[in-house]
Amino acid sequence: MSGGPLNESGAAPVEAQRTVGSASARRRLRSNAAFRSLLIGQGAFDIGISMRIAAQSWVVLELTGSQLWVGAAAGVRAIPVLLFALFAGVLADRMQRRWLIFFSGSWMAALVAVTAIITVTSTGEAWHYLLIAFGLGIGASVYGPSFLALVATIVPRDQLPRANGIVSFIATSGEMVGPLLAGLIIAGAGAGTVFWIVSIGYLGGSLLMLRVREPARAAPAGKASFREIGEGLAFAWRTPPLPWLTALIMLQNLFAVTIFPIMPVYADEVLDVGATGFGLMGGVFGAGLLGSAAIVAVFGTHHRRGLVMFFTGMVWDTCMVAFGFSRSFPLSLGLLFVMGLSGVIWVNAALTLFQTYATEEMRGRVMSLYVLSMDMFPMGWLIGGALAAWLGNEEALIVSAIGGTPVMLIGLLLSPALRRA
């Protein structure tokens, strides 16, 4: 691995942080063979996830004719992540992370292959797809903390923002391309073919992870136990600014996503642009995500990441409220694009801070806390829809914004560590 050893002090040196985006950092990241293998393998998973969800939604809708079932099949995957992510973080601190990624990825490949079989043979019922999605969530709960911890292990800290930006760029590209590919394949060869392709991609991505060579670590004595979860939580609690970061990420994923369940309502009833306009709204938002991921991948982020989170969060909340009151389709598209631009930068800053303040001994458990916080997202969709139904669309967006920027400002005022981060 090039780029020198990691600083394990628990806080990145300011001098190192300020080198982000330098030409030397870019060259060292390009020469990091382990990161390249990790990136290619992850790319197979990113595009596969969006293809699988698109194909699953199509099949479940055909079986049930119910959007509720479609939403349940997509959202049930989050439940095991909430249940098992913290213990998966313990495993990531005990075992070789590349092997955990390989086994969890292979588990998901096998489940998608089962999905292909029941789809091709027309023996699958709706509850089968829900059960498989739950099993995929178990794999994801192991995969996520191990992957994020491994990135922080093999990439020097001054290159982490750019590395995370590249990962975000690949993920966003997969989210945009995957549904398109799935639609074309479903039209030409059927949904079962999509699942077979995804399964093969998952297996190939898992095998690529075995090429990653991570530094040897001394495993803790004894068997893995729930006591180690408590140790990880205690470490996070006494390591500023991790407590505030965890709370902020949870709140953002619970409240700042209110715009997504009401976007179809605006397309159909408020802006009167129909399904075509709704698709364009999603595409423009995705283009903003992709653009910001590319910017971060090339230039990194400012070293005061707490302030970066505040200003990009404020941009998101302002545009979200403005979208609620907009009656102009071009203006609404522009607001969604700016939201996309701010979104990846916010996530990148939060993720980099988690990786920066985690010691190698606790990295898996700290990253499991990040994964758990981010997985509030599906619940946020539910809360957003309920707020809109109860209060009205514009009022729901205002309430959501109140749960974002003002809380972040309070965090900055009360936490010196977050202001310096």
User: For 377-418, how does the pLDDT look when each residue is reduced to its tens digit (9 = 90+)?
Assistant: 877 877 888 888 888 999 999 999 998 889 899 999 999 999
CA dihedral angle for residue 289, residue 332, residue 178, residue 213, rounded to 10 degrees: 10
Separation CA 291–CA 308 (nearest Å) = 17
- The CATH code of the domain at 226-421 is 1.20.1250.20
Where do the structural domains in the chain lie, given as residue ranges? 21-213, 226-421
- Is the distance from CB of 146 to CB of 100 less than 8 angstroms? yes
**What is residue 85's predicted lDDT score, i.e. its pLDDT?**
94
Residues with pLDDT less than 50, the chain: 1-22
200-224 per-position pLDDT tens digit: 999 999 999 998 888 777 666 666 6
Query: In the CATH hierarchy, which fold is given to the domain comprising 21-213?
Result: Growth Hormone; Chain: A; (1.20.1250)
**What is residue 2's predicted lDDT score, i.e. its pLDDT?**
35
Tokens read off for 52 = 């699988």
Query: How does 83-102 read in b/e, with b if 16+ C-beta sit within 10 Å?
Result: ebbbbbbbbbbbbbbbebbb
Separation CA 322–CA 314 (nearest Å) = 12
Separation CA 80–CA 368 (nearest Å) = 13
Quote the pTM value.
0.81
Same fold, 21-213 and 226-421: yes
Please return the burial class of 17, using the count of CB atoms within 10 Å of its CB with bins 0-12, 13-18 and 19+. buried
Tokens read off for 351 = 């993720």
How many other C-beta atoms lie within 10 A of the C-beta of residue 336?
25
- Is the distance from CB of 402 to CB of 258 less than 8 angstroms? no
**Residues written for the chain:** 421
